[in-house]
A and B are shown apart, each in its own frame.
Chain A
């Protein structure tokens, strides 16, 4: 109580101490003896206030929010893409036998192509200082599912793939960029971190989410003249999240790249806290010479962290390489050499070499320009983010803890690689050339390769359904990753594509899929490009033919006989005609033949048509399409596509479907 009284007394006395205080100004006014409202004779006036100035410290509210500095504007851009598609199946494709029934529905009317692709993508970003910037992509999804009341799920607004922070600095040791976050679309080298852009022989009739708008003729002219079309940052790069440091203009004409973070294979759809983390560390030091010659030292590594629960497991793959590029008298020599290795409780640590040599010869010395390639990648030289496919160690692709299951639906095993594709446990070569005759361009490529070691894991072959690939991928009408579909469950879908798995039974001793011989692959591309005028309007014609085979003996060219386990033909023709100023009409036709021999899966009484047994695959896929590209303005275009498609296996029951689909794409860039 005495403290209480003492406190009151002290506080009452405090104003008296104000007698010693100076008045508001120093004009000699009388001393303040206390505060009494009665003594205030002057009328009150409301004091002017301002919301934009910081209020005094003694105010109850601190009006300054979290972000204290605002700028006049951020950078913004993006696109709107309404993509509608409707499909009618006059003949359904069916589920695996264990499930039965039709796969998907006869008729689909849908918005979007089933992936996380935005109806509207909005990029926002800004630069708080000259050497830092921040940016993110926003996705706005409006799937036109109708308004179902306030309790219905909201239309989605979220971040898209990219959210990055950037900083750069200039020092006497060079200029350095730091990029944090992701997804960052980037690459390092073919054997470490990269993706195969191949020789860019593909159909351009079907639209892709990342295709730009603009003059409708640009796309088709570019493919004729440049051999490629405009692509966004995702083309030829891989997804990476984490921290990247790039150094350039460094001493001795060197540059530096350093990666620490995650690839999509190591990240996937995990949540924030990961108790058994996986990470990637990589880097590259490049020495640059004159004439764009350069040589670099590269590494990329994947680690699954150890823990006491799993007996301190050690799971990692490592790649160490040197990449080179030399130009001499119009010859170009480039490639990469190095070693790679893998270790896990299931695989004893092993290392193997990888070699990639590309030689490009100039026309004036060899008559035609040639691109020659030799490659050899050991079975232990493995990766899940390199330019080559992993065919040797499945858990590298599926994840160590998911061995036996295929979480990531990348093809594994005997991939029937096309010209320009690479796979490990293979040695081979390729030759490519092209010649222009009048308005025709003839482009050809041949690749032959052999497995280096007979692996005892999976004796399977995979090949893609290139014709109608987009149609295949959305047959299930679900998120387009399907591990087993079709009546025999052997078709797997990936993003905008599908591939089929074939079991090989060539072991005379066991009769099962235990491999008995190495496989040999051959692939041939032949492409014709033509451009001319019809009624003074541009007309383009593209024809692409691919023949490939896999067999148990080496062959420099594809094997057409039944000695090939699988023989696949793909033939596509496209015609684009500039009908009027802003309108292009297009036609597409495709044929796909796939035949297997007696050592592959054959029909049984249950799976064969009319119960016929012992028959191998004999598949035909057909497609015909017509389309319109209509430019509405410099940044707006409308694209219509109508496709009739069918697929049939002559001997396997229910391995067939038929139908048609139409797509409407309305796209605006801003």
Chain B
């Protein structure tokens, strides 16, 4: 009996130790934390607002990763947030921020269900970056990346979606085909709303990629954003299928030279099913081809490409903008002195850097509003319809990594004239970004970094006084960082936006059809935005820092002086990432 008890005891002990170990291995935790206090001040010429606003919060995103077995993983993020102005439970929030399950079926089929990031090509599914950033200074980038983008779940050029994704690959023993990779996804874009008669919308698609080797592949993409018409009374539904074919060939790759060719070709449709008022089968297409050469001893990369996007190429997931220019800035949305006729404040560089509420996170089938002063040539990224032209990109980094330069130049034209059918706009874009590691230049241990960038954009088209298009935009970014004490950086930054000239921005209806032109809002513009930032940043680790910064912003509108105003902000950000 004693022996039996001993055996049972030993078994239980072994089992319990195994259980404890298994639990420790199978459940892991991570967290992101932020404490942010912002104080914003508007100039005293305004009498509609209190001069000062203040907002702050502390939050912790608690990540939980559970691996119930070797082939399954559950990840969730619980958000715990408390406003700095709230005490004793006031304004505390607990919410679910992320939940997904992923795993492998049968050792080859990978799946993920729940919250997922999706990205395909710039013409099919691509979250193009927000405007007004060319080598942005750290003094602005910290707030934009770690607060604004994080809050909007922006990560690279992926779209944050909810649904399911699967992929698998088939390998071959042939030297002509290494493998074929399959991707498929199905996500929910929008839920039905009975009261607004909005249908449920889904997004489905996938990719087949034939990989001959690391030097050659050929892929086909397909995706479709579509309404489930039966989920609302009118039964109308919008469908936007896009399919494309892409390839990449590494022609040459040796110690001295690299040469590769890539291209993509695709087609789109925009259908409005059962809607008799809508245009039928709006078709579009695009193609893009380029050649990239690398001169390896010189660390130089040059890419020359040509693209063509037809006027009615509509690709929802590639053309949806990251910023919704119809949104209202969260602070000082109106200003002036007349309460019955206030000036609505447009989204500025200051808001783009600091305000997460102006951002857009949903893919929409209709082309969104944009501000031509912030990017008129390709407001919808590379997939901007009605554009064709050549782009030359150049990238250089010296061998000691003292200097790195990114330069780009494009000359684009409209494929088809719009408000003047026999004349097309031309667009010239030039951008230059450079980093200069001064400490490496003078052989100094601590970081001294000077970086900056500029983007010049001109839109032109001849015409009479209301049809003449002549818009010049300039964007400047500059930053200087010096590690004054160990891990303590002093930061200075500048961002400037100049816009002068006129543009007639198209007005579209609910079918994406052009129904007119805004010939007033963007005529005879002449304004400058200047943003300066100063601050200090202490880095506890690579992902954890505290920074104290002061930003000033001046908007000088020479065409409408009443729109001129000044703002500034002081903020403290403690950003912690595991």
* Residues of A near any B CB (own CB < 8 A): 3-4, 6-8, 10-11, 14-15, 17-18, 20-25, 29-30, 32, 35, 39-52, 55, 58-74, 115-116, 124, 126, 128-129, 131-132, 134-136, 138-139, 157-161, 163-165, 167, 169, 171, 178, 180-183, 239, 241-243, 260-262, 264, 267-277, 279, 305-310, 312
Contact = CB atoms under 8 A, between A and B. Distances in A.
B192 interface: no
B170 A159 contact: no
Nearest to A70: B28
B176 A40 contact: yes
Given A14-B247, A21-B249, A21-B251, A29 B175 contact: yes
A31 to B, nearest CB: 10
A73 B31 CA distance: 11
Contacts of A43: 172-173
B84 A42 contact: no
Interface in B137-194: 150, 153, 155-156, 158, 165, 167-181, 183, 185
Contacts of B485: 171
Contact of B576 (A6, A132, A269): A132
A14 B156 contact: no
Contacts of A309: 47, 49-50
Nearest to A141: B89
Interface in B269-301: 285-289
B250 interface: yes
Given A14-B289, A49-B108, A72-B25, A21 B250 contact: yes
Interface in B534-569: 538, 540-541, 543-544, 546
A126 B29 CA distance: 9
Nearest to A183: B87
Given A7-B287, A181-B82, A271 B91 contact: yes
Contacts of B57: 272
A126 B287 contact: no
Given A8-B287, A18-B212, A71 B574 contact: no
Given A22-B213, A267-B86, A45 B172 contact: yes
A166 B125 CA distance: 40
Interface stretch (B112-120, B397-405, B443-451, B522-530): B112-120
Closest 9 CB pairs of A and B: A7-B287, A277-B54, A181-B58, A180-B35, A307-B50, A46-B108, A269-B90, A70-B28, A42-B173
B289 A11 contact: yes
B15 to A, nearest CB: 20
Interface stretch (B73-81, B341-349, B461-469): B73-81
Contact of A35 (B25, B106, B210, B263): B210
B32 interface: yes
Contact of B167 (A40, A60, A268): A60
Nearest to B102: A51
B249 A51 contact: no
Interface string B462-490: 00000000000000000000000111000
B446 to A, nearest CB: 14
A660 B93 CA distance: 38
Contact of A307 (B32, B52, B56): B52
Contacts of B388: 3
Interface in B38-57: 39, 44, 46-47, 49-57
Contacts of A158: 80, 89, 92-94
A70 B29 contact: yes
B423 interface: no
A164 B177 CA distance: 55
Contact of B216 (A21, A25, A270, A277): A21
B442 to A, nearest CB: 24
Contacts of A46: 106-109, 168-171
Residue from the set B58, B174, B543 with the largest chain A CB neighbour count within 10 Å: B58
A17 B251 contact: yes
Nearest to A7: B287
Given A10-B289, A70-B578, A167-B546, A116 B88 contact: yes
B516 interface: no
B209 interface: yes
B337 to A, nearest CB: 10
A180 B169 contact: no
Contacts of A279: 39, 54
Nearest to B35: A180
A23 B4 CA distance: 66
Contacts of A72: 24-25, 28-29
Contacts of B156: 62
Contacts of B46: 308
B83 A272 contact: yes
B167 A55 contact: yes
Contacts of A261: 37, 56, 84
A134 B120 contact: no
A67 B388 CA distance: 40
B77 A65 contact: yes
A159 B572 contact: no
Contact of A10 (B28, B216, B287, B578): B287
Contact of B170 (A20, A44, A274): A44
B58 A60 contact: no
B214 interface: yes
Contact of A47 (B92, B119, B170, B265): B170
B495 to A, nearest CB: 24
A136 B60 contact: yes
Given A67-B30, A183-B87, A169 B80 contact: no
B212 A35 contact: yes
Contacts of B454: none
Contact of A61 (B35, B112, B288): B112
Residue from the set A18, A23, A116, A164 with the largest chain B CB neighbour count within 10 Å: A18
A610 to B, nearest CB: 44
A11 B263 contact: yes
B118 A61 contact: yes
Contact of B247 (A15, A24, A65, A129): A15
B60 A134 contact: yes
B409 interface: no
Given A241-B58, A262-B85, 17 more contacts: A7-B289, A7-B308, A21-B251, A32-B212, A35-B176, A40-B174, A49-B107, A51-B104, A58-B209, A66-B63, A70-B30, A134-B31, A158-B80, A161-B89, A163-B80, A169-B538, A181-B33
B574 A61 contact: no
